[in-house]
């Protein structure tokens, strides 16, 4: 009874707007408040639970990384946030609404860009609007999002002519076009080369802050989590559950949102996350140092 009362109290608090400050002083959206209550899931009873009793809160405008090894249920959890999968128990609540299906208010970006190869960049970017019957907005909205992702000059190009990184930028533009309050990223940079991946990590964080978006990303890369997120949630496996978290905001510079990967603050934040991750998976922390890019880190991100 006491646990139920506590859950009810948390759920009641999730119905209203959060008082947390946004990262951007003048965000273009309010960002979504995300709350997860006692979430558990099993695809088949015989296989056991993939996730067990996961509870989590993400404030409007916050960037949170879910990090864990394969099998920790992080992608399953992200699919439930998106409304693509219903949990066996518990619930996901976004801005006071229980998530039961996908919505243009919360948009998911997958590992593969999944573009229509016969369409241009602009046509692909407009698909999110057309699928939500807002095609009339495309004429003004598509140029805006293509400028955000630095693809304005490629608007009339066929997407097959683009590099992998550029195709992911098109997918990002398509996700941003409906003006979501929550953006969910399922390892969308994992197949890209080091330099392209680093540029996208930098730009997606900057765009989320500029727009005031709430952002949740799934990754197995400690360096990516330390670079992009305000907070990293580490998931343990068998079944998937929250094992700990690391606040990464202390590395932010005076110019908000800018992180220097060569700074002592960044290295300390990365070390704290590496140590926790290693402890959770039961491995030597040194074995995770390879998650840092092989390239020399001589850029400000």
**Is it true that the peptide bond before 239 is cis, omega within 30 degrees of 0?**
yes
Please give the Cα distance from 253 to 260 (Å, whole number). Answer: 8
242-267 CB burial, b ≥16 within 10 A, e <16: bbebbebeebbeeeebebebeeeebb
Decide: pTM greater than 0.75. yes
Segment holding 9, helix H or strand E? helix 2-14
What pLDDT score was predicted for residue 286?
52
Answer yes or no: is 69 within a domain. Answer: no
Residue 18 pLDDT exceeds 70? no
Q: What is the pLDDT of residues 143-152, one digit of tens each?
A: 999 999 999 9
- Answer yes or no: are the C-beta atoms of 128 and 177 closer than 8 Å: yes
- Which residues span the domain enclosing 232? 23-56+74-260
Residue 155: burial class (beta carbons within 10 Å; 0-12, 13-18, 19+): middle
What CATH number has the domain bearing residue 194? 3.40.50.300
What pLDDT score was predicted for residue 111?
87
Other Cβ atoms less than 10 A from the Cβ of 12: the count is 10
Answer yes or no: is 63 within a domain. Answer: no
Q: What is the pLDDT of residues 35-81, one digit of tens each?
A: 999 999 999 887 889 999 999 999 999 999 999 988 899 999 999 99
Answer yes or no: is 128 within a domain. Answer: yes
From residue 107, how far is each of 83, 180, 216, 252 by CA, in Å?
10, 6, 11, 27
What pLDDT score was predicted for residue 71?
86
Answer yes or no: is 188 within a domain. Answer: yes
What pLDDT score was predicted for residue 159?
95
What pLDDT score was predicted for residue 84?
96
What pLDDT score was predicted for residue 195?
87
What pLDDT score was predicted for residue 277?
93
What pLDDT score was predicted for residue 20?
35
Please give the Cα distance from 206 to 24 (Å, whole number). Answer: 10
Residue 12 pLDDT exceeds 80? no
Answer yes or no: is 108 within a domain. Answer: yes
Answer yes or no: is 296 within a domain. Answer: no
Answer yes or no: is 244 within a domain. Answer: yes
Domain count, the chain: 1
What share of the chain in percent tops pLDDT 90? 63
Answer yes or no: is 9 within a domain. Answer: no
Q: What is the mean pLDDT of residues 137-165?
A: 94
More confident: 183 or 20: 183
What pLDDT score was predicted for residue 2?
45
């Amino acid at each position: 009874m006491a646990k139920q009362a506590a859950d009810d109290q948390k759920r009641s608090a999730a119905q209203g707007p959060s008082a947390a400050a946004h990262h951007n002083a003048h965000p273009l959206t309010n960002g979504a408040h995300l709350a997860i209550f006692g979430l558990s899931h099993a695809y088949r009873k015989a296989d056991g639970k993939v996730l067990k009793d996961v509870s989590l809160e993400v404030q409007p405008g916050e960037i949170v990384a879910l990090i864990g090894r394969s099998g920790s249920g992080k992608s399953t959890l992200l699919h439930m946030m998106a409304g693509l999968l219903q949990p066996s128990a518990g619930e996901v609540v976004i801005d006071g609404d229980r998530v039961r299906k996908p919505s243009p208010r919360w948009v998911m970006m997958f590992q593969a860009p999944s573009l229509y190869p016969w369409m241009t960049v602009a046509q692909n970017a407009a698909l999110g609007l057309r699928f939500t019957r807002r095609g009339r907005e495309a004429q003004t909205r598509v140029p805006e999002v293509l400028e955000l992702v630095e693809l304005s000059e490629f608007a009339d190009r066929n997407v097959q002519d683009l590099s992998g990184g550029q195709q992911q930028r098109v997918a990002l533009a398509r996700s941003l076009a409906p003006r979501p309050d929550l953006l969910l990223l399922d390892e969308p940079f994992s197949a890209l080369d080091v330099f392209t991946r680093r540029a996208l990590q930098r730009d997606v964080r900057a765009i989320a802050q500029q727009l005031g978006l709430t952002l949740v990303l799934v990754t197995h890369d400690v360096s990516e989590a330390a670079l992009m997120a305000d907070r990293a949630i580490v998931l343990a496996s068998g079944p998937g559950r929250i094992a700990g978290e690391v606040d990464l905001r202390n590395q932010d510079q005076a110019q908000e949102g800018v992180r220097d990967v060569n700074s002592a603050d960044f290295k300390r934040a990365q070390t704290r996350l590496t140590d926790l991750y290693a402890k959770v998976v039961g491995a030597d922390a040194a074995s995770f140092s390879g998650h840092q890019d092989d390239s020399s880190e001589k850029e400000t991100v």
